[in-house]
Each structure stands twice: as C-alpha cells, then as structure tokens.
Amino acid sequence: MAVPETPQGSPTLQQHDEKKPHNPTDTTTDAESAKEALTPEPGLDALTPAPDGGARAWLVVIGSACIFFSCLGFMNSFGVFQAYYMANQLRDHTPDSIAWIGSLMSFIQFAGGAVSGPLFDRYGAWVIRPGAVLYVFALMMTSICTEYWQFMLAQGVLTGLSMSLLQVPAFAAVSQFFDKKRAAAIGLVVSGSSIGGIVFPIALSKMLNGSTLGFGWSVRIMAFVVTPLLAFSCYAVTARLPPRGTSFFIGSAFKNTRFLMLIAAAWCCFIGMFMPLFFLPTYAHLRGMEPTLASYLLAILNGASTFGRIIPGILADKYGKLNVFGLGGILTGVIALCMNTATSTAGLVVYSIAFGFSSGTIISGVSAALSICTDDPRNLGTYMGMGIALASTASLVGPPVAGVMQEKYGGFLEVTIFSGIVCLAGGVLAIATKATTPKGLFGRV
C-alpha cells in the first residue's frame, strides 16, 4: 500500500476526537477500533525529526564531501583539459566540439540523478558503491584515450554516469540528517568540490605542462588519489530513514509550481555558471597569460567558491534558502557580464575570486532550495534527482554554445553577455519563486 506523504516532524499517530459513525456491516468492537487508531502506519514511526548533528550525521557530511572532492572537483578542472586538448590530442577539432566532452560529462552527472535519487530513496546508500568503482575505472580509461570518440565515451559518458551514482545520493543522505542546518550542511559538502577544484587544476597543470609524466600517467595519478577517498565514502555515507515503497518517480512533483519554477531558475543559473569554468583558462591565454598560470585561475576560482558555498549556506538557514539562492544567481550574472573587462593578470585573478565566491552559492543553493518542495524527507532524493536532472540540460548546451560564439566572433564579449543575462534571469526567477510559499514574496524563505 502506498504510504502518504507526512510532514517532517509531524505526529505519526492520528488522533480521532469524533465518534465513529455506525455502520451495520462493521463488526469491529470499540476496543478494536481504538487499538487500530493507535497503530502507526508502516514506516511512519521512523520519521523522527532530523538530529541536525551528532557523530553519525557529521560522518555522512565528511563522506559526502569526499565524493564531491573526487567528482565535481574533477569536473571543475575541465578547463585545464579544454586548453590541453586544443593544443595536443584534439588540436584539429574546434573549441565547441571539445567543450562537448565536458558538457556531456556535466549533463550526465546531474541528469543521472533522476535515477540515482529514487534508487537512494528506495534502497539506501548502497547505490554509491558501484558508482565509486565505475568512476575509478572511467578515469583509467580516459588515461589511455587518443581519439575524439574515445574521450567522448570515457570522459564524457562513463565518467558522468559514475558521478551521477555518487553525488545526488550524497545530497539526499545529508538532507536526511539535517533540517534546520540543512543549507549549511549541504554547503560544507559541496565545498569539497571547491577543494578538489583547487587540487586538480594545479596538479594536472603541473604534471601536464611542467613534467615528463605525460597525459596518461597524469590522469592515472588522479585516479589513485580519489580511490581511498571514495572507499571511505562507501563506509561513511548511510541513510537515516527507512526506504519508501511508493512509485519510483513522483509524477505529482511536476504539478508543484514551486518545483517547476526552481528547475527553471537553476537551468538559467547553470548556463551562466559553467561558461567561465570551461573557458576562463582559454580566455586568459588569449589575453597573454602563460598556459600554466592561466590554468591556476581555476584553482583560485574554486578556492574562493569554498567560502561562497559555506558562508551563504549558513546565511540561508537564517535568512531563507530562496533568498540566498536568488541573490547568488543575480550576483553571478552581474560578474559574468564583466569577464571581458578583465585584461591584466591582476584583473583576471580578482575576477576569478569574485566569480568563484558568487557562483559557489548555485550548486549548494539549488539543492537546498529543492528540499523545501516536499515535507516528507524520504522523498528528498527523488525530488533533488528529478529537479537537478532537468536543470542539467543547461550544462549540456551552455558550454558548446559559448564555444560556437567564441569561434564565430573571435572573442568573448558576446559569450559573456549571453551567459550573464541568462544567469541574471535565473536569479530573478528564484526570488519570484518565493511568491509560491506561504510566507510570500517578502518572507524569509
């Protein structure tokens, strides 16, 4: 029997003050009726309030942060691969065709959440174990690629698929352990990707451009680095609540105006956010910056986004998840519009810090915002998975469109205008979503 959604922290025993109406065909006694009324529905007795702390909860946060260090941190370093492929293995291909590798990886890692999220809700955290094995295997396969279709298959498809089995379940697991501190906890988890975004670009750039290791061993070393971290995550990340037994997908979510508006807002913000992550090193190189130093801009950007994910997460729990997400989208759009004005080394460093801090609110912000669309914490994985999956189509089309515009116009002015305006629209839409909440447009939501 399908279990109806119950608001988090609400009583699980229904109180009946009215007298039971007489039914001639009902042979139950008053004592049996009272006993039946006091019997909780299956599984609902476990819906106790989230602990918002404790050793087990923080262990889940640490394990999830290791997942994001290994996955999204690696994804955030694709700008290094973009510049390296353009100068080496894929120098005969256009910038937009190379960007398709990273954009496909980014799309699949989030789109796959439409499956991994419901799998977590139904079967628990075991889903991350095959994902961890597949991810290491995908990196090893990438290290031996030489042709475009090989990179597309190994780095684009296989790596993205394995990431999808890891990241959305990590989000959902943390959300089960935190309620009042949920945005801060998710911010701490996503900050793992920022640390990875510091380590991976610097290490890859140094090994690819400043050593004799070559491409193959540089990528394999990265695989060796993430293996123990993912092994720890398989032990640390667990589910707090019993699995739900209802349908795999929750179709009624798409009748929720708030849910649909948040998906649209995230879609717009993703387009503006991913463009600098892909093209900032290329842009800096066109401005005369040395390739190794240009790749360090991604490390600077991701270092700044560490604070941009933790601090806004703490503020979101106090001032509202939609407020912080919307303001982060607006600020990111404004800064994206300014990229073409950064022409010197100092200007590019300052730009990287500013964009890193502002864009840091988006991934953690949208995940925290989607969590307010359901009152049943057992559905969090499904809601997050379906929402992020639809929003991730932006990461599939955004970078290649930016690559086409850069090649057509020979610069980045049109690229920055496109990305900035769309991201601004996403931030405004996130703020407008507040109108669908009980507290209204001017409430702390």
DSSP string, 298-310: HHHHHHHHHHHHH
pLDDT at 28 over 80: no
pLDDT tens track for 377-403: 778 788 888 888 888 888 777 777 887
What pLDDT was estimated at residue 246?
Answer: 63
Q: How confident is the model at residue 20 (pLDDT cuts 50, 70, 90)?
A: very low
pTM passes above 0.75 = no
For the chain, the residue count is 445
pLDDT at 8 over 50: no
Q: How confident is the model at residue 236 (pLDDT cuts 50, 70, 90)?
A: very high
pLDDT tens track for 90-143: 888 888 788 889 888 988 888 888 888 888 888 888 889 999 999 999 999 999
Q: Which residues contact 71 (CB under 8 A, 6 or more apart)?
A: 109, 135, 163, 166, 167, 193, 196
More confidently predicted of 394 and 292: 394
Average pLDDT value over all residues in the chain: 82
Structure tokens at 287: 């401005």
Query: The domain 51-436 belongs to what CATH superfamily?
Result: MFS general substrate transporter like domains (1.20.1250.20)
What pLDDT was estimated at residue 41?
Answer: 38
Rg of the chain over all Cα atoms, to the nearest angstrom: 23
What is the CB neighbour count within 10 angstroms for residue 398?
27
Contact 215, 89 (CB under 8 A): yes
Of all residues in the chain, the percent with pLDDT exceeding 70 is: 89
What pLDDT was estimated at residue 245?
Answer: 66
More confidently predicted of 330 and 281: 330
Q: Which residues contact 189 (CB under 8 A, 6 or more apart)?
A: 61, 64, 65, 68, 170, 171, 174, 364
More confidently predicted of 244 and 125: 125
Strands (E), 85-132: none
What pLDDT was estimated at residue 47?
Answer: 64
Least trusted range by pLDDT, from 44-48, 132-136, 196-200: 44-48
Q: How confident is the model at residue 242 (pLDDT cuts 50, 70, 90)?
A: confident
Contact 306, 195 (CB under 8 A): yes
pLDDT at 434 over 50: yes
What does the DSSP 8-state code read for residue 248? S
pLDDT at 36 over 50: no
Q: How confident is the model at residue 360 (pLDDT cuts 50, 70, 90)?
A: confident
pLDDT at 158 over 80: yes
What pLDDT was estimated at residue 212?
Answer: 78
Select, from the ranges 119-133, 218-232, 366-380, the one with the highest average predicted confidence (pLDDT): 218-232
Contact 74, 200 (CB under 8 A): yes
pLDDT tens track for 62-97: 999 999 999 988 887 887 888 889 888 888 888 878
pLDDT at 35 over 50: no
Residue spans per domain, the chain = 51-436
Structure tokens at 208: 């690819």
pLDDT at 226 over 90: yes
Q: How confident is the model at residue 373 (pLDDT cuts 50, 70, 90)?
A: confident
More confidently predicted of 44 and 67: 67
The amino acid at 354:
A
Least trusted range by pLDDT, from 107-121, 143-157, 216-230: 107-121
More confidently predicted of 49 and 64: 64
Least trusted range by pLDDT, from 17-21, 160-164, 188-192, 386-390: 17-21
